[in-house]
């Protein structure tokens, strides 16, 4: 069964995504920021990474750039809450261009997310 | 020694031959042999023999005796008779011839020789004796002559005659000194031409001037000159030690001597005339040569040295005698002259003799002093009077001399001879006589001077005596010690003493003790210097003890020998004068102080223009001490062309005495050019004659500068006042307007200066209730905000005091129209609020989404987990619905706050609006009617299509919400309009084409308070849950970010209309430019224009006037109605705003139509929701114009309405 690494600084979101993905039968590991996520992935690479963009320690964009550089075949879904100084669309667009196969704005509807996961793990 | 020459006279030839041979044998020379008497005489003449041997008996006419006599007498040659026999008669006759010997024939040679030798000896001795006798005789005669007191000419004549006759010379002459020359005084035996040619000795140059030697003495020519000038050299044979010259053969002399030997230039006339023997003997008196005796003879050998010595002795006698005689004659003449002069002088001694008497007597003294008293007459001419001797008459022989008195000729003395007198070389009168006459004239001149001086002295003595007697001054005399020797009566008056009391009193004892030392000092120094004192002031004690001031002047007095004897003085009582002087001095000092205290330069001059004095200020102003100015004129002070101007001014003043004022530029001591005013006035003496002028100079440079500065400042403030839009007026303490600037005049409508402020500004009869005048008068500045009841505009009013120099205060009031500014500030505040919310929203959106995301995720999972018919499902669905709304809200917030990321591109707004209309049509109920007027030719706008979509969506949704309950009509209009400056609220907008999106509803509408807040974020009128309150603020932000504008018209219950203006980058007007531009129709009708907004009235008035119409404007419907009621026929058209306080456009129209049913009316309106065309027609309204009013549309509409009426 496929393994998915989820990265988000919000514990509630990590819990929600773990339940949602484990309910579908995926093995899920999580990290609270990009740095930890990268470490975990290097230890034991997963089939997919779902990452937030705005995080402490290491931003999502950085994380995506490093992953894409070190593991060219890595599959990434970027999800952002938007706001802050720049609108989310901007970051999401960038992350798309940098190597995220799918991008979503929070909050994402369950079906949309699962559909993207299924497609990427096919 | 040469042979003795013998002439033999013997008629017997044989005997003659015998004699000749015997003579020769004896060693004698024979000059010749004559046979008869006449021949003998011829032979003697021919060849002078030493001895003649003469036969007594001779053949021929004359015998030997007779011949001998002739020879002896004529030639003085000794004759020895030879005779063979001698009768007694013949012997007797022979004896008479003084023969030197007789030889009787026959005779021995020895006898002959003895006889000849004896004869020679006797003849020689005899000749010597005779010569000596002659000389003796000559000398005696000469002395006799010289001792006779004869006239000189006669004497000399006689001397020469005597010499000539006695010695037997051919020619004799005497030269005597006359002036510098020594001409012939007399000559005897010389040809007249010779005398004439040789008269003068002075050498003359080619110009006739006398040639002089280095000592200036005249050079005397020829040998005569040598002798007279003692140029003789005794080593030469023809000069003697006594300085005479002699020659027995001038021909030989000339041939054997050099020019140097002869000492001087020779005229050689003596030799030329044939004189061989010449002697020149000096005539001496003492060592002086006074003349020369000349002896000439054509015969040679006429002189011996002995003879020359004789003549030298004689020359001395003649010289001494002549000299002595001259001296005596001169003495006699002098005596005569002296006698004459003495007599004249003696006349003066006669007491009281008058000038006339002196003249009368003087003429009597003159003739005896002249050479010929009997025929001499004299005359004195003086002062037009003539005094003369009885025999006086003018004759050709007259001499005159001028009488000079005090250096000027005043008359003359004439002397004349009544008969002609033999002219000597001096003319008829002697030089001495002319001298005497001159002396007499001179003496007379002196006498006249003396007599007139004497008379004058007498007169003046008389005068002084009476003066001394009559004067009020104390006249005194004293000795050297100061003891009074004389005093006049005045001393009684001055010092109180009688004359006799004063006598002998010491001068210093009359003096005040304090001045005594001073007076002693005067006496001492006066005696030393032999000088007096003058105008010395001393104090004296009057007998009664009072103090007197005297001004003392004294002169030393001398006796006849010139010894100082004492002093004469005049002392004047100046007590009164002194007192007056002191007063005067005090006054003068006061005046001088006064003049010097005057701060203006001051000067005064006399009529000649000379400065009399200047004051201290003048000295300081020009930097010159008064000493350098006094006595000078303007010509001494500056260049001529400037001085000329001042001089002219001075003259002008002197000619027309009055005051004179003029302005000038002058240069002061510091070299600065100053503007000054001269104030001058002439002053006159007591008789009114102009004596001079006084001038005062005022430096007005600073004043002029200040005036200039003030003028500039006034000009500056005036132009500021005129240029400023702020309304300004100045109000006096008694509420009168003192000044209004053009802005306030325009507002008030006229210049209300002088009127009360409350009346003018607010139409109040008393001061305004809010008046701050009192505070301002206390010096406070009061600032207030004031909303005009007239037009609702807001003003900042500044009231500040103006402090006048006189202490009064005026109030300066400045109205600043801040209506626009306030509006802008409000807008700015709103914008800033929106911006801050945007920033905030951006920040919270992320976190908010992070919250929503798990809720949604878990919610969906919960719904999925819930059983089919569980009541939970419905509840979870509601939660999810809420989450979606929250998500949408966050999206909206983000959209609002989004700055970057917008996709700006040229776009056609009409396309987006049509899309939005499609969308909205599907979502609004049918109770709402949708009308759309989309102009497809609208120009391109630079914008983000999503945002334009959002704007249109937002406005239409709002409109729908406003009509949701009641239903109504949604009208969407899109068109391109041209906006001018007056159409904008936002100054950042540029005039030009705009796309205008209008969204109008007929819904609930809004009141003024709501309208002011609708663009604030989170402000909403909608029910909770229906609106976010962000819609319009998002719209506002978008529109503003495109340099566009948004305007709203709304009234409660009447709906609202929103106009969005977006600037066009490529105008449809531009694109259509190639098409014919429709000319704007114009007209001249009278239009009544009504709108409550003044700026709109202003804008529309300008539009209409530009179109040619005559406009009457009103800002309220009531005023408009009044204006119309006053003259309904005056107006051709009424244009009115729809929304106005008190009376709407429709209500106004109805009133107007009541007055005049045919009046055409156009209504301007921001939204047309409530009035449609049909309804309007019903009301009688002819047309509508949509706000904002575009000129071309308005113009078209007006013509449409007016022309329709005509049609």
CA distance B676 to B1180: 81
- Average pLDDT, integer, range B781-788: 83
Q: For chain B, what's the residue count? A: 1207
Mutate to test the interface with B, among A18, A20, A78, A107 (most CBs of B within 10 A): A107
In this predicted structure, the answer to whether residue B1074 has a pLDDT above a threshold of 50 is no
Q: A13 contacts in B (CB within 8 Å)? A: 850, 853-854, 857
In chain B, what percentage of residues exceed pLDDT 90? 4
In this predicted structure, the answer to whether residue A89 has a pLDDT above a threshold of 50 is yes
CA distance B813 to B727: 8
The whole-number pLDDT of residue A84 equals 46
The whole-number pLDDT of residue B1030 equals 63
Q: A77 contacts in B (CB within 8 Å)? A: none
CA distance B221 to B208: 14
Question: Chain-wide mean pLDDT for chain B?
Answer: 81
Nearest to B846 among A81, A89, A111 (CB): A81
Q: Are residues B901 and A84, on separate chains, in Cβ contact within 8 Å?
A: no
Q: Which of B574-588, B644-658, B897-911 has the highest mean pLDDT?
A: B644-658
For residues B603 and B518, membership in a common domain is answered with no
Q: Are residues B894 and A88, on separate chains, in Cβ contact within 8 Å?
A: yes
Q: Cα dihedral sign for B1178, B1181, B1187, B1193? A: positive
Query: What are the pLDDT digits (tens) for B425-478?
Result: 556 677 777 778 888 888 888 888 877 777 777 777 777 778 777 888 888 888
For residues B1096 and B1027, membership in a common domain is answered with no
State the first-to-last Cα distance of chain A, in angstroms, to the nearest integer. Answer: 12
Q: Are residues A83 and B842, on separate chains, in Cβ contact within 8 Å?
A: yes
Q: How far is A27 from chain B (nearest CA, A)?
A: 18
Nearest to B857 among A84, A105, A110 (CB): A110
In this predicted structure, the answer to whether residue B570 has a pLDDT above a threshold of 60 is yes
- Average pLDDT, integer, range B846-857: 81
The model's confidence at residue B819, banded by pLDDT at 50, 70 and 90, is confident
Q: A15 contacts in B (CB within 8 Å)? A: 854
Q: Does A10 lie at the interface with B, CB-CB under 8 angstroms? A: yes
Q: Does A56 lie at the interface with B, CB-CB under 8 angstroms? A: no
Residue/partner pairs of B763-767 with CB below 8 Å, 24 or more apart: B767/B735
Rg from Cα positions in chain A = 13
Torsion-angle region of B698 (φ positive above 0: left; ψ -120 to 50: alpha; else: beta): beta
Q: What is the CATH number of the domain that holds B108?
A: 3.40.50.2300
For residues B192 and B319, membership in a common domain is answered with yes
Among B150-164, B169-183, B755-769, B887-901, the minimum mean pLDDT is found in B887-901
In this predicted structure, the answer to whether residue B321 has a pLDDT above a threshold of 70 is yes
The whole-number pLDDT of residue A85 equals 43
CA distance B552 to B574: 10
- Average pLDDT, integer, range B1186-1204: 76
Q: Which of B352-356, B560-564, B600-604, B768-772 has the highest mean pLDDT?
A: B600-604
Q: In which domain, by residue range, is B1173 found?
A: 1086-1206
For residues B808 and B827, membership in a common domain is answered with no
CA distance B282 to B225: 10
Q: Which of B148-152, B681-685, B850-854 has the highest mean pLDDT?
A: B681-685
Mutate to test the interface with A, among B837, B838, B850 (most CBs of A within 10 A): B850
The whole-number pLDDT of residue A42 equals 92
- Average pLDDT, integer, range A6-29: 92
What 8-state DSSP symbol labels residue A99?
T
Q: Are residues A83 and B898, on separate chains, in Cβ contact within 8 Å?
A: no
The model's confidence at residue B1105, banded by pLDDT at 50, 70 and 90, is confident
Nearest to A54 among B846, B848, B858 (CB): B846
Q: Are residues B855 and A107, on separate chains, in Cβ contact within 8 Å?
A: yes
Angle ∠(B476,B477,B478) on CA atoms, nearest 5: 130
Which residue is associated with the tokens 């939660």? B879
- Average pLDDT, integer, range B768-789: 84
Q: Are residues B894 and A108, on separate chains, in Cβ contact within 8 Å?
A: no
The model's confidence at residue B422, banded by pLDDT at 50, 70 and 90, is low
Query: What are the pLDDT digits (tens) for B148-202?
Result: 655 666 677 777 787 787 777 888 888 888 777 888 888 888 888 888 888 888 8
Q: B897 contacts in A (CB within 8 Å)? A: 87
For residues B256 and B206, membership in a common domain is answered with yes
Q: A107 contacts in B (CB within 8 Å)? A: 849, 852-857, 883, 887
The whole-number pLDDT of residue B1071 equals 43
Q: What are phi and psi of B804, to 5 degrees?
A: -90, 160
Q: In chain A, positions 82-111, which contact chain B (CB-CB < 8 Å)?
A: 82-90, 105-111
In this predicted structure, the answer to whether residue A26 has a pLDDT above a threshold of 90 is yes
The whole-number pLDDT of residue B1072 equals 42
Q: A54 contacts in B (CB within 8 Å)? A: 846
The whole-number pLDDT of residue B1168 equals 46
Domain count, chain A: 1
Kindly report whether the peptide bond that precedes residue B106 is cis, defined as omega within 30 degrees of 0: yes
Q: Does A23 lie at the interface with B, CB-CB under 8 angstroms? A: yes
Q: What is the CATH number of the domain that holds B638?
A: 3.30.450.20
Chain B residues near any Cβ of chain A (below 8 Å): 841-850, 852-858, 860-861, 864, 883, 887, 890, 894, 897-898, 900-901
Q: Are residues A84 and B848, on separate chains, in Cβ contact within 8 Å?
A: no
The whole-number pLDDT of residue B421 equals 66
CA distance B118 to B4: 13
- Average pLDDT, integer, range B232-250: 85
The whole-number pLDDT of residue B500 equals 86
In this predicted structure, the answer to whether residue B1016 has a pLDDT above a threshold of 80 is no
For residues B691 and B754, membership in a common domain is answered with no
The whole-number pLDDT of residue A39 equals 93
The whole-number pLDDT of residue B900 equals 37
Token pair for B515: 């001045």
For residues B1040 and B936, membership in a common domain is answered with yes
The whole-number pLDDT of residue A113 equals 92
The whole-number pLDDT of residue A47 equals 93
Q: In which domain, by residue range, is A85 found?
A: 3-68+76-120
Helix locations, B504-559, DSSP H = 513-529
In this predicted structure, the answer to whether residue B257 has a pLDDT above a threshold of 70 is yes
Nearest to A108 among B844, B845, B853 (CB): B853
Rg from Cα positions in chain B = 80
- CB neighbour list of residue B736: distance below 8 Å, 6 or more residues apart: B754, B755, B756, B757
Q: A89 contacts in B (CB within 8 Å)? A: 901
The whole-number pLDDT of residue A5 equals 95
Angle ∠(B671,B672,B674) on CA atoms, nearest 5: 135
Q: For chain A, what's the residue count? A: 122
The whole-number pLDDT of residue B1073 equals 40
For residue B337, being part of any structural domain is answered with no
In this predicted structure, the answer to whether residue B1028 has a pLDDT above a threshold of 70 is no
Nearest to A12 among B844, B854, B894 (CB): B854
For residues B188 and B273, membership in a common domain is answered with yes
Q: Does A54 lie at the interface with B, CB-CB under 8 angstroms? A: yes
The angle, 0 to 180 degrees and rounded to 10, between the axes of the packed helices A60-70 and A34-43 is 20
- Average pLDDT, integer, range B905-934: 83
DSSP, residue by residue, B32-88? EEESSHHHHHHHHHHS--SEEEEESS-SSSS-HHHHHHHHHHHH---EEEEES---H
- Average pLDDT, integer, range B655-669: 86
Among A66-80, B252-266, B820-834, the minimum mean pLDDT is found in B820-834
Mutate to test the interface with B, among A50, A54, A82 (most CBs of B within 10 A): A82
For residues B1023 and B1046, membership in a common domain is answered with yes
Q: Which of A93-102, A111-120, B362-371, B569-578 has the highest mean pLDDT?
A: A111-120
For residues B159 and B269, membership in a common domain is answered with yes
In this predicted structure, the answer to whether residue B1077 has a pLDDT above a threshold of 90 is no
Report yes or no: B345 and B356 within 8 Å, Cβ to Cβ: no
Kindly report whether the peptide bond that precedes residue B1015 is cis, defined as omega within 30 degrees of 0: no
Q: Are residues B844 and A13, on separate chains, in Cβ contact within 8 Å?
A: no
ipTM attached to this prediction: 0.75
Q: How far is B857 from chain A (nearest CA, A)?
A: 6
Token pair for B868: 């089919």
Angle ∠(B230,B234,B239) on CA atoms, nearest 5: 75
Q: Are residues A108 and B850, on separate chains, in Cβ contact within 8 Å?
A: no
Domain count, chain B: 9
Q: How far is B846 from chain A (nearest CA, A)?
A: 4
Q: Does A69 lie at the interface with B, CB-CB under 8 angstroms? A: no
Q: What is the CATH number of the domain that holds B869?
A: 1.10.287
Report yes or no: B939 and B1071 within 8 Å, Cβ to Cβ: yes
For residues B636 and B698, membership in a common domain is answered with yes
In this predicted structure, the answer to whether residue B828 has a pLDDT above a threshold of 80 is no
Token pair for B1090: 């009504």
The burial of A114, by beta-carbon neighbours within 10 Å (0-12 exposed, 13-18 middle, 19 or more buried), is given as middle
The whole-number pLDDT of residue A88 equals 47
Q: How far is B960 from chain A (nearest CA, A)?
A: 30
- Helix H, strand E, coil C: the string for B408-474 is EEEEEEEEEECCCCCCECCECCCHHHHHHHHHHHHHHHHHHHHHHHHHHHHHHHHHHHHHHHHCCCE
In this predicted structure, the answer to whether residue B528 has a pLDDT above a threshold of 70 is yes
Nearest CA in chain A to B862: A20
Token pair for B84: 């063979």
Q: What is the CATH number of the domain that holds A59?
A: 3.40.50.2300
In this predicted structure, the answer to whether residue B59 has a pLDDT above a threshold of 80 is no
Q: Which of B1038, B1071, B1104 is the last residue of a domain?
A: B1071
Pairing of strands B1183-1186, B1161-1165: parallel
DSSP, residue by residue, B843-909? HHHHHHHHHHHHHHHHHHHHHHHS-TT-HHHHHHHHHHHHHHHHHHHHHHHHHHH--TT---EEE-H
For residues B1110 and B1038, membership in a common domain is answered with no
């Amino acid at each position: 069964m496929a393994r998915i690494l989820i990265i988000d600084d919000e514990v509630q979101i990590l819990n929600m995504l773990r339940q949602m993905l484990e309910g579908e039968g995926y093995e899920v590991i999580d990290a609270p920021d990009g740095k930890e996520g990268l470490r975990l992935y290097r230890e034991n690479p997963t089939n997919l990474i779902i990452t937030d963009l705005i995080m402490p320690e290491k931003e999502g964009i950085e994380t995506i750039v490093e992953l894409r550089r070190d593991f060219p075949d890595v599959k990434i879904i970027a999800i952002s809450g938007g706001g802050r100084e720049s609108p989310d669309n901007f970051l999401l667009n960038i992350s798309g261009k940098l190597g995220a196969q799918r991008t979503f704005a929070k909050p994402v509807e369950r079906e949309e997310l699962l559909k993207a996961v299924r497609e990427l793990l096919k | 020694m040469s042979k003795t020459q013998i002439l033999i006279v013997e008629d017997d030839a044989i005997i003659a031959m015998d004699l000749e041979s015997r003579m020769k044998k004896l060693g004698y020379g024979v000059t010749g042999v004559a046979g008869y008497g006449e021949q003998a005489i011829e032979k003697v003449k021919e060849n002078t023999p030493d001895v003649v041997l003469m036969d007594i008996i001779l053949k021929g006419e004359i015998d030997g005796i007779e011949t001998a006599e002739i020879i002896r007498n004529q030639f003085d040659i000794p004759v020895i008779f030879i005779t063979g026999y001698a009768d007694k008669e013949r012997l007797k006759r022979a004896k008479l011839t003084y023969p030197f010997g007789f030889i009787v024939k026959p005779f021995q040679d020895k006898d002959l020789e003895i006889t000849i030798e004896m004869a020679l000896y006797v003849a020689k001795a005899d000749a010597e004796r005779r010569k000596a006798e002659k000389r003796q005789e000559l000398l005696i005669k000469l002395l006799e002559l010289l001792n006779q007191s004869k006239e000189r000419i006669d004497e000399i004549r006689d001397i020469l005659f005597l010499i000539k006759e006695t010695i037997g010379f051919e020619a004799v002459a005497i030269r005597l000194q006359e002036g510098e020359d020594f001409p012939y005084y007399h000559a005897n035996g010389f040809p007249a031409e010779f005398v004439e040619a040789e008269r003068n000795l002075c050498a003359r140059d080619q110009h006739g001037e006398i040639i002089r030697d280095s000592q200036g003495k005249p050079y005397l020519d020829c040998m005569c000159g040598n002798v007279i000038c003692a140029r003789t050299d005794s080593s030469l044979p023809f000069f003697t030690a006594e300085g005479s010259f002699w020659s027995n053969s001038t021909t030989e002399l000339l041939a054997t001597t050099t020019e140097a030997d002869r000492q001087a230039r020779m005229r050689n006339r003596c030799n030329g005339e044939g004189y061989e023997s010449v002697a020149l003997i000096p005539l001496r008196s003492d060592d002086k040569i006074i003349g020369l005796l000349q002896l000439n003879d054509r015969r040679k050998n006429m002189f011996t040295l002995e003879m020359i010595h004789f003549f030298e002795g004689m020359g001395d006698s003649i010289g001494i005698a002549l000299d002595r005689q001259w001296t005596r004659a001169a003495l006699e003449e002098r005596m005569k002259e002296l006698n004459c002069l003495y007599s004249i002088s003696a006349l003066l001694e006669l007491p009281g003799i008058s000038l006339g008497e002196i003249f009368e007597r003087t003429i009597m003294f003159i003739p005896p002093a002249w050479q010929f008293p009997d025929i001499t007459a004299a005359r004195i001419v003086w002062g037009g009077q003539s005094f003369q001797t009885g025999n006086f008459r003018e004759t050709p022989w007259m001499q005159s001399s001028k009488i000079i008195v005090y250096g000027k000729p005043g008359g003359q003395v004439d002397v004349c001879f009544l008969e002609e007198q033999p002219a000597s070389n001096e003319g008829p009168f002697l030089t001495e006589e002319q001298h005497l006459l001159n002396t007499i004239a001179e003496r007379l001149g002196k006498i006249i001077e003396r007599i007139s001086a004497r008379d004058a002295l007498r007169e003046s003595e008389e005068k002084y005596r009476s003066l001394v007697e009559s004067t009020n001054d104390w006249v005194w005399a004293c000795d050297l010690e100061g003891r009074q020797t004389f005093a006049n009566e005045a001393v009684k008056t001055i010092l109180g003493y009688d004359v006799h009391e004063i006598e002998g009193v010491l001068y210093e004892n009359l003096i005040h003790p304090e001045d005594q030392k001073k007076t002693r000092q005067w006496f001492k120094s006066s005696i030393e210097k032999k000088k007096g004192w003058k105008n010395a002031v001393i104090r004296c004690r009057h007998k009664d003890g009072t103090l007197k001031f005297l001004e003392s002047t004294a002169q030393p007095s001398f006796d006849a020998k010139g010894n100082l004897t004492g002093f004469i003085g005049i002392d004047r009582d100046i007590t009164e004068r002194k007192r007056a002087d002191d007063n005067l001095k005090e006054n003068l000092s006061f005046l001088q102080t006064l003049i010097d205290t005057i701060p203006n330069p001051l000067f005064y001059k006399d009529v000649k223009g000379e400065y009399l004095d200047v004051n201290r200020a003048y000295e300081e102003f020009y930097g010159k001490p008064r000493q350098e100015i006094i006595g000078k004129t303007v010509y001494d002070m500056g260049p001529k062309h400037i001085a000329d101007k001042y001089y002219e001014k001075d003259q002008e003043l002197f000619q027309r005495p009055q005051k004179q004022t003029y302005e000038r530029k002058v240069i002061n001591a510091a070299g600065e050019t100053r503007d000054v005013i001269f104030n001058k006035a002439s002053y006159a003496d007591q008789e009114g004659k102009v004596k001079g002028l006084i001038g005062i100079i005022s430096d007005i440079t600073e004043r002029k500068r200040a005036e200039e500065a003030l003028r500039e400042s006034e000009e500056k403030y005036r132009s500021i006042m005129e240029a400023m839009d702020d309304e300004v007026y100045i109000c006096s303490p008694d509420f009168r307007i003192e000044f209004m600037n053009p802005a306030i005049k325009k507002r008030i409508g006229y210049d209300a200066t002088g009127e009360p402020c409350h009346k003018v500004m607010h139409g109040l009869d008393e001061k305004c209730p809010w008046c701050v005048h009192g505070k301002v008068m206390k010096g406070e500045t009061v600032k207030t905000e004031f909303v005009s009841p007239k037009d609702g505009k807001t003003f900042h009013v500044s009231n500040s005091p103006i402090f006048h120099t006189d202490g009064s205060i005026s109030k300066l009031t400045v109205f600043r129209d801040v209506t626009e500014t306030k509006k802008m500030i409000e807008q700015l505040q709103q914008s800033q609020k929106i911006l801050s919310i945007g920033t905030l929203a951006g920040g919270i959106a992320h976190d908010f989404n992070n919250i929503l995301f798990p809720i949604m995720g878990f919610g969906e999972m919960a719904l999925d987990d819930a059983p089919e018919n569980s009541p939970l499902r419905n509840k979870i669905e509601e939660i999810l619905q809420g989450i979606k709304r929250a998500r949408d809200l966050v999206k909206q917030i983000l959209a609002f706050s989004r700055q970057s990321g917008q996709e700006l591109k040229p776009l056609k707004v009409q396309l987006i609006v049509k899309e939005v209309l499609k969308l909205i049509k599907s979502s609004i109920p049918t109770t709402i009617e949708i009308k759309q007027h989309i102009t497809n030719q609208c120009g391109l706008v630079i914008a983000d299509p999503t945002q334009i979509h959002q704007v249109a969506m937002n406005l239409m949704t709002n409109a729908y919400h406003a009509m949701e309950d009641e239903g109504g009509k949604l009208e969407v209009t899109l068109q391109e309009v041209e906006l001018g400056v007056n159409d904008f609220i936002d100054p950042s907008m540029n005039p030009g084409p705009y796309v205008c999106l209008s969204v109008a509803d007929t819904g609930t509408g809004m009141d003024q308070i709501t309208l002011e807040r609708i663009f604030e974020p989170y402000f909403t009128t909608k029910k909770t849950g229906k609106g976010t309150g962000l819609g319009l603020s998002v719209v506002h932000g978008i529109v503003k970010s495109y340099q566009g504008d948004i305007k709203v018209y709304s009234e409660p219950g009447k709906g609202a209309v929103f106009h969005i203006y977006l600037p066009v980058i490529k105008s449809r007007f531009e694109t259509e430019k190639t098409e014919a531009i429709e000319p704007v129709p114009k007209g001249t009708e009278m239009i009544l224009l009504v709108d409550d907004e003044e700026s709109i009235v202003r804008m529309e008035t300008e539009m209409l006037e530009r179109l040619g119409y005559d406009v009457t404007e009103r800002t309220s419907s009531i005023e408009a109605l009044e204006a119309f009621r006053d003259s309904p026929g005056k107006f051709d058209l009424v244009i009115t705003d729809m929304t106005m306080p008190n009376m709407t456009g429709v209500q106004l129209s109805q009133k107007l139509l009541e007055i005049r049913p045919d009046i055409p009316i156009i209504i301007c309106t921001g939204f047309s929701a409530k009035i449609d065309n049909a309804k309007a027609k019903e009301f009688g309204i002819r047309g509508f114009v949509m706000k904002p009013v575009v000129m071309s549309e308005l113009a078209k509409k007006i013509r449409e309405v007016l022309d329709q009426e005509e049609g």
